[in-house]
Amino acid sequence: MKKSIITLVIAMVAMSSFAQSKSIEPEYIGQVVILNADSTTTLLQKETAKMKAKSSKWGMLPIPGAGMLDKSKVKLTIKGSEAPVKVKAGPLTLVIKTGNNEKDPKEVFGVWKLEVEKKARTFLVAEAGFLSGVTATTNYNNVPFVAKKYGEGCYIIFFDNIEPGEYAVNTDFANLSTFSVQ
Protein backbone atom coordinates (compact mmCIF):
# COMPACT_ATOMS: atom_id res chain seq x y z
CA MET A 1 0.00 0.00 0.00
CA LYS A 2 2.78 2.39 0.99
CA LYS A 3 4.67 1.63 -2.24
CA SER A 4 1.60 2.31 -4.43
CA ILE A 5 0.94 5.67 -2.68
CA ILE A 6 4.55 6.73 -3.27
CA THR A 7 4.29 5.64 -6.92
CA LEU A 8 1.03 7.58 -7.28
CA VAL A 9 2.58 10.74 -5.78
CA ILE A 10 5.63 10.47 -8.05
CA ALA A 11 3.38 10.00 -11.09
CA MET A 12 1.27 13.04 -10.12
CA VAL A 13 4.36 15.21 -9.66
CA ALA A 14 5.79 14.03 -13.00
CA MET A 15 2.49 14.72 -14.82
CA SER A 16 2.22 18.13 -13.17
CA SER A 17 5.74 19.14 -14.18
CA PHE A 18 5.16 17.78 -17.72
CA ALA A 19 1.92 19.79 -18.03
CA GLN A 20 3.64 22.94 -16.77
CA SER A 21 6.59 22.59 -19.13
CA LYS A 22 4.26 22.02 -22.09
CA SER A 23 2.22 25.15 -21.31
CA ILE A 24 5.38 27.29 -21.16
CA GLU A 25 6.59 26.33 -24.65
CA PRO A 26 5.10 28.28 -27.58
CA GLU A 27 2.82 26.24 -29.81
CA TYR A 28 4.39 27.03 -33.21
CA ILE A 29 7.90 27.50 -34.60
CA GLY A 30 8.85 31.17 -34.64
CA GLN A 31 6.61 32.13 -31.72
CA VAL A 32 8.04 33.89 -28.68
CA VAL A 33 6.47 34.07 -25.22
CA ILE A 34 7.32 36.04 -22.10
CA LEU A 35 7.55 33.88 -19.00
CA ASN A 36 5.73 35.82 -16.29
CA ALA A 37 6.57 35.64 -12.57
CA ASP A 38 3.46 33.50 -11.90
CA SER A 39 4.60 30.89 -14.50
CA THR A 40 2.02 32.02 -17.04
CA THR A 41 3.07 33.17 -20.50
CA THR A 42 2.30 36.12 -22.73
CA LEU A 43 2.57 35.55 -26.48
CA LEU A 44 4.45 38.31 -28.30
CA GLN A 45 2.64 39.69 -31.31
CA LYS A 46 4.29 39.29 -34.70
CA GLU A 47 4.59 42.48 -36.68
CA THR A 48 5.59 42.81 -40.31
CA ALA A 49 8.78 44.71 -41.03
CA LYS A 50 9.51 46.40 -44.34
CA MET A 51 12.92 47.21 -45.74
CA LYS A 52 13.18 50.90 -46.58
CA ALA A 53 16.03 52.77 -48.22
CA LYS A 54 16.45 56.51 -47.91
CA SER A 55 18.94 58.86 -49.53
CA SER A 56 20.01 62.36 -48.49
CA LYS A 57 19.48 63.40 -52.16
CA TRP A 58 22.73 65.37 -52.43
CA GLY A 59 23.48 63.36 -55.55
CA MET A 60 20.47 64.90 -57.31
CA LEU A 61 21.91 68.42 -57.21
CA PRO A 62 23.30 69.54 -60.58
CA ILE A 63 26.58 70.57 -58.97
CA PRO A 64 29.80 68.74 -59.85
CA GLY A 65 30.90 66.57 -56.92
CA ALA A 66 27.60 66.80 -55.06
CA GLY A 67 27.18 63.05 -55.40
CA MET A 68 30.13 62.56 -53.06
CA LEU A 69 28.06 64.08 -50.26
CA ASP A 70 25.15 61.70 -50.81
CA LYS A 71 24.45 59.26 -48.01
CA SER A 72 21.96 56.37 -48.06
CA LYS A 73 20.49 54.29 -45.23
CA VAL A 74 18.64 50.98 -45.31
CA LYS A 75 16.35 50.26 -42.36
CA LEU A 76 13.87 47.63 -41.30
CA THR A 77 10.74 49.53 -40.36
CA ILE A 78 7.75 48.48 -38.26
CA LYS A 79 4.63 50.66 -38.23
CA GLY A 80 3.63 52.24 -34.94
CA SER A 81 5.75 53.79 -32.23
CA GLU A 82 4.96 51.13 -29.58
CA ALA A 83 4.60 47.37 -29.46
CA PRO A 84 1.24 46.02 -28.29
CA VAL A 85 2.83 43.86 -25.53
CA LYS A 86 4.28 45.89 -22.66
CA VAL A 87 6.48 44.71 -19.78
CA LYS A 88 8.24 46.37 -16.85
CA ALA A 89 11.96 47.11 -16.91
CA GLY A 90 14.17 44.68 -15.02
CA PRO A 91 14.82 40.94 -15.34
CA LEU A 92 12.97 39.27 -18.21
CA THR A 93 12.66 35.69 -19.46
CA LEU A 94 11.55 34.71 -22.96
CA VAL A 95 10.95 31.30 -24.52
CA ILE A 96 11.33 30.99 -28.29
CA LYS A 97 10.39 27.94 -30.34
CA THR A 98 12.82 27.33 -33.19
CA GLY A 99 12.04 23.70 -33.98
CA ASN A 100 15.63 22.68 -33.35
CA ASN A 101 17.82 23.79 -30.47
CA GLU A 102 21.07 22.18 -31.59
CA LYS A 103 22.67 25.36 -33.01
CA ASP A 104 24.25 28.28 -31.21
CA PRO A 105 21.26 30.48 -30.33
CA LYS A 106 22.97 33.62 -31.67
CA GLU A 107 22.96 31.98 -35.12
CA VAL A 108 19.25 31.18 -34.96
CA PHE A 109 17.63 34.39 -33.72
CA GLY A 110 18.49 37.90 -32.61
CA VAL A 111 17.22 40.42 -30.10
CA TRP A 112 17.26 44.04 -31.23
CA LYS A 113 16.68 47.33 -29.50
CA LEU A 114 14.76 49.44 -31.99
CA GLU A 115 15.01 53.17 -32.62
CA VAL A 116 11.69 54.98 -32.20
CA GLU A 117 10.82 57.51 -34.88
CA LYS A 118 7.61 59.53 -35.27
CA LYS A 119 5.28 56.76 -36.39
CA ALA A 120 7.59 53.75 -36.63
CA ARG A 121 10.26 51.63 -34.97
CA THR A 122 13.40 51.01 -37.01
CA PHE A 123 16.59 48.97 -37.09
CA LEU A 124 19.52 50.24 -39.19
CA VAL A 125 20.72 47.49 -41.53
CA ALA A 126 23.21 49.40 -43.72
CA GLU A 127 24.52 52.88 -44.39
CA ALA A 128 26.56 54.00 -47.38
CA GLY A 129 28.19 57.21 -48.52
CA PHE A 130 31.03 58.06 -50.89
CA LEU A 131 33.02 59.89 -48.23
CA SER A 132 31.95 57.87 -45.20
CA GLY A 133 32.15 54.43 -46.82
CA VAL A 134 29.79 51.53 -46.27
CA THR A 135 28.74 50.11 -42.94
CA ALA A 136 26.47 47.10 -42.73
CA THR A 137 24.98 45.52 -39.66
CA THR A 138 26.26 41.99 -39.39
CA ASN A 139 25.44 41.51 -35.71
CA TYR A 140 21.72 41.03 -35.26
CA ASN A 141 22.05 40.66 -31.50
CA ASN A 142 22.49 44.17 -30.18
CA VAL A 143 20.93 43.29 -26.80
CA PRO A 144 23.02 41.04 -24.52
CA PHE A 145 21.26 37.89 -23.32
CA VAL A 146 21.93 34.38 -22.07
CA ALA A 147 20.16 31.51 -23.84
CA LYS A 148 19.91 27.85 -22.94
CA LYS A 149 18.30 24.84 -24.59
CA TYR A 150 14.77 24.36 -23.34
CA GLY A 151 12.30 21.56 -23.92
CA GLU A 152 11.81 20.21 -27.44
CA GLY A 153 13.15 22.65 -30.00
CA CYS A 154 13.06 25.76 -27.79
CA TYR A 155 15.47 28.17 -26.18
CA ILE A 156 14.93 30.02 -22.92
CA ILE A 157 16.40 33.53 -22.95
CA PHE A 158 17.38 35.48 -19.83
CA PHE A 159 17.92 39.23 -19.58
CA ASP A 160 19.46 40.44 -16.32
CA ASN A 161 18.13 43.97 -16.50
CA ILE A 162 16.35 45.05 -19.65
CA GLU A 163 16.05 48.82 -20.03
CA PRO A 164 13.01 50.80 -21.21
CA GLY A 165 12.59 50.91 -24.98
CA GLU A 166 11.21 49.02 -27.96
CA TYR A 167 12.53 45.55 -28.75
CA ALA A 168 12.14 42.89 -31.42
CA VAL A 169 13.05 39.21 -31.56
CA ASN A 170 13.83 38.14 -35.10
CA THR A 171 13.38 34.62 -36.32
CA ASP A 172 13.12 35.88 -39.89
CA PHE A 173 13.37 39.37 -41.35
CA ALA A 174 9.75 39.69 -42.47
CA ASN A 175 8.00 39.01 -39.15
CA LEU A 176 9.36 40.27 -35.87
CA SER A 177 8.01 39.45 -32.41
CA THR A 178 7.95 42.80 -30.60
CA PHE A 179 7.61 44.05 -27.04
CA SER A 180 7.86 47.35 -25.24
CA VAL A 181 9.71 47.77 -21.95
CA GLN A 182 8.48 50.57 -19.74
The predicted structure's pLDDT at residue 11: 37
Read off the pLDDT of each residue in 76-93 and give the average, rounded to a whole number.
92
How does pLDDT run across 34-49, given as a tens digit for each residue? Answer: 998 888 899 999 998 8
100 against 55, higher pLDDT: 100
Q: Cβ of 178: how many Cβ atoms within 10 Å?
A: 25
The DSSP annotation for 121-173 comes to EEEEEEEEETTTEEEE------S--EEEEETTTEEEEEEEEEPSEEEEEESSS
The predicted structure's pLDDT at residue 95: 94
Residues 58 and 66: their CA atoms lie apart, in Å, by 6
Mean pLDDT of the chain: 77
The predicted structure's pLDDT at residue 69: 57
pLDDT level of residue 118 (50, 70, 90 thresholds): confident
Q: What's this model's pTM, rounded to 2 decimal places?
A: 0.74
Least confident of 44-58, 63-77, 85-99, 148-162: 63-77
Read off the pLDDT of each residue in 115-132 and give the average, rounded to a whole number.
79
Burial of 74 (0-12, 13-18, 19+ CB in 10 A): middle
Read off the pLDDT of each residue in 96-105 and give the average, rounded to a whole number.
88
